[in-house]
Amino acid sequence: MKKNAKKQIRYIQNILLPDKLAILHKFKKYMGHFPDLKNPKTFNEMMQWLKLNDRSSIHSIAADKYLARNFISEIIGEEYLIPLEFQTYNSCDITSENLPDFPCIIKTNHDCGGTLIVQDKSKVNWSNTQHFFQKRLQKNYFYYGRERQYKNIKPSIIIEKLLLDKTGNIPYDYKVYCFNGKAKMIAVDKDRGKDTKSRNWYDINWKKEDIFWNTGGDNSVINKPESFNSMIGLSEKIAKKFIFVRVDWFELEGKLFIGELTHHPGSGFVKFEPEKWDRVLGDFLKLPK
């Protein structure tokens, strides 16, 4: 009986509550206090303000991992896109015949976490894989954090070539944080897809900062990418379209490939450690009146 009551409460919170009330409730749950939506100061508070006040069709296009390919291509060129091998709206189409013979990544276009790395397709459990993606296609990610750009995306599945370096590892994932069209911070993910995954932060001058956010960092020294200047310039070219956007990149043998565009990292529900960085990143962003 109690389980059913809790499920009903969660359903009301996730589906029936107006956006503002749902955001207030979730922010309090994860951050320990209500956000100041009238005069936001921290990065996480500003993400909530943007979710409620900065909405347009361009956000949905950019957030759609399939449609974003054309959007990105028109701004900076298709040479920065990861090769697309297959696209479908039906999970039953995920079969051996539709996957390439080289390593690839299967992912949904409309949510977060709907990915599967395939190094060898002969080892794939097709029934389990199809079931997994069928469930992902039925999910509307909008209801997690009320990020409006996800609400009307038509769910689909895309299969891209898996980028691997000469040692067979996924290259570093560079996440460029752009505020009012200018890059200010870069988060670098290493060992993606492994238990040893870590995230280190750098400022625009490639000075390492001690920030913990979502994923812990380590003491390793990551050299500035060879194509750093191009990465920043291209990110800012895309960022001109938005008040805030995070542009994700991979560098492979000196060549850049764009990963995805993110409007509200962590949906604005992830604490910074030390806490001061929530305010530091917030100070980078100037919201319209």
DSSP string, 29-41: HHHSS---SSS--
pLDDT at 192: 74
Beta bridge partners of 105: 117, 160
pLDDT at 289: 82
190-221 tens-digit pLDDT: 987 677 788 999 999 999 999 998 776 677 77
Q: Where are the alpha helices (DSSP H) in the chain?
A: 2-11, 19-31, 43-53, 57-63, 67-76, 126-137, 142-145, 228-239, 276-284
- Percent of the chain scored above 70 by pLDDT? 97
Parallel/antiparallel/unpaired status of strands 208-209 and 244-252: unpaired
Parallel/antiparallel/unpaired status of strands 157-161 and 84-88: antiparallel
Q: How far is CA 243 from the centre of its chain?
A: 16
pLDDT at 266: 96
pLDDT at 104: 98
pLDDT at 216: 66
pLDDT at 73: 98
pLDDT at 15: 81
In the predicted model, residues of the chain with pLDDT beneath 70 are 1-3, 13, 193, 216-217
Contacts of 20 (CB under 8 A, 6+ apart): 37, 52
Return the amino acid letter for 285. Answer: L
Q: Which two three-digit tokens encode residue 120?
A: 């060898």
